[in-house]
Amino acid sequence: MKAPLLLIMTVWLNTQYGGSFVSSSCSHPPSQWCSSLDTAIQCGVLKHCLESNFTRSHQTADPIQVGLYYESLCPGCRIFLTEMLFPTWVLLHDIMTVTLVPYGNAVEKPDGQKYVFDCQHGEQECLGNMIETCLLNMTSIAFPVIFCMESSSDVIKSAKSCLELYNPGLSWDKIMGCVKGDLGNQLMHLNAMKTKALNPPHNYVPWVTINGEHTDDLQDKAMASLFTLVCNMYKGTKPAACGGGQRHFKSYCHNE
């Protein structure tokens, strides 16, 4: 289980920080690495893609639905999202889904036909929440962009370059059109309603739901190791990443 985790995180971290692990012939965004054998080879991730394709085609039970209610500048949210949720999703996306709801402890007030929002960490946080909300609406591969933003030293300033790196097909202007326009306002109101509908109501963030449910026990387990929780809860055939015993690391080169 350790080996693929290290490999994949090395790939992600190296692309993140401009490293050279990914071969220079890899000019595709991560979302397309497994789209063909050629790109998988060019990007040095063939083994991972083959395993992930195999697991997907053999998925035998409903995926575990992980929901995260959070706000873009809350330090604990950033740590959970970047160090727990995202790495778990990279390894287990065949058996889990992730729903992100950026809003958290914000408050909304109606203002004519629109809403105005007041965020716990100020206006910059409202902007971060809005950018992430628009990303989630406008692309099916928003999560790597959001991971990139949340792991940067400046969540807001990094947004444009994170989008260019992970989703070069989507223009920043389109995202900003949503952020400043009616669409963003409507989508943020939906986030407010989803957050208010939580049962039990949230009293902190990051607030985790598993298959739509929140309990202290599930929250504690998710915080301790979401990876273990998802592997344990998944009812179908466990993927290799969960450590199903398909791998044999015990292999020695003996001396004379």
Ligand X SMILES: *[C@@H]1O[C@H](CO)[C@@H](O)[C@H](O)[C@H]1NC(C)=O
Residues at the contact surface with ligand X, assessed by CB under 6 A: 34, 36-37, 40, 49-50, 53, 137, 186-187
Q: How far is the CB of 93 from ligand X (least distance, A)?
A: 13
Q: How far is the CB of 175 from ligand X (least distance, A)?
A: 13
Which residue, 158 or 186, has its beta carbon nearer to ligand X?
A: 186
Which residue, 50 or 61, has its beta carbon nearer to ligand X?
A: 50
Residues 6+ apart with CB under 8 A from 34: 40, 45, 48, 49, 52, 53
Burial class (CB in 10 A: 0-12, 13-18, 19+), 186: middle
Which residue, 47 or 196, has its beta carbon nearer to ligand X?
A: 47
Q: How far is the CB of 178 from ligand X (least distance, A)?
A: 9
Q: What b/e readout covers 196-220, taking b as 16+ CB neighbours within 10 angstroms?
A: eebeeebeebbbbbbeeebeeebbe
Q: How far is the CB of 157 from ligand X (least distance, A)?
A: 26
Which residue, 138 or 233, has its beta carbon nearer to ligand X?
A: 138
d(CA 219, CA 194): 18
Residue type, 228: T
Residues 6+ apart with CB under 8 A from 112: none
